[in-house]
Amino acid sequence: MLVICGSGRGAGKTAVGCALIAAMPELLWVVVKVSPHTHEASDGLWEELDSRSGKDTGRYLAAGARRSFLVSNAQDLHATDLIVEARARASLCDGLLVESNRVAADVVRHRGEQAVTVAVLAGPEAEWKASLRECAGRVDALVLANGLSPEEFESPFLQKPVFDLAHGQWSVPELVRFVRDRLVR
């Protein structure tokens, strides 16, 4: 199970998730993107079926995910239930990617399942979401996107492995290796 959280809208969470899925085709991925906002699809759980939709859920399918779901406008506990439901619908998938700052891997992973949480950081620290700070203790590694440098912020994350991405780059071999090693222990 891979959880991707991030500093805010446009940080690159979906782009990093898509790059990791494409780099690890040996796993059959189901993706659940959690959004606190209402989306046009509906409240609750919605499945994307069109890899060319232009939505983040479609981007995940285009990257190689077998199934892609959106949980929208759900409180934390209900979102967890909907992730479990999405996972049950995609029982043939063996890799779960959850894009959310609020859902902890320990809450939705199966017993004995390996998990890794990656935080995608971009932009000024003053603009980072409060929900990112709340999940600091659960993060296993940092991905610094769009030229962000560790010298540019003070953070509880600084004791974590850091993967720097050049502007417009969404993965590096070292990040893929780190995630793969954590998931396939």
| Predicted pLDDT of residue 180 | 97
| Predicted pLDDT of residue 43 | 62
Q: Structural domain boundaries of the chain? A: 2-183
Q: Which residues of 39-71 are buried (b: 16+ CB within 10 A; e: fewer)?
A: beeeeebbebeeeeeebbbbbbbbbbbbbbbbb
Mean pLDDT, rounded, of the chain: 90
Q: Are strands 67-72 and 44-48 parallel, antiparallel or unpaired?
A: antiparallel
Single pTM value for the model: 0.93
Q: Report the percent of the chain where pLDDT is more than 90.
A: 62
Reported as a single tens digit per residue, the pLDDT across 54-90 is: 999 999 999 999 999 999 877 777 889 999 999 999 9
pLDDT above 70: residue 100: yes
2-183 is classed in which CATH architecture?
Answer: 3-Layer(aba) Sandwich (3.40)
Reported as a single tens digit per residue, the pLDDT across 139-176 is: 999 999 988 887 777 776 768 899 999 888 999 999 99
pLDDT above 70: residue 39: no
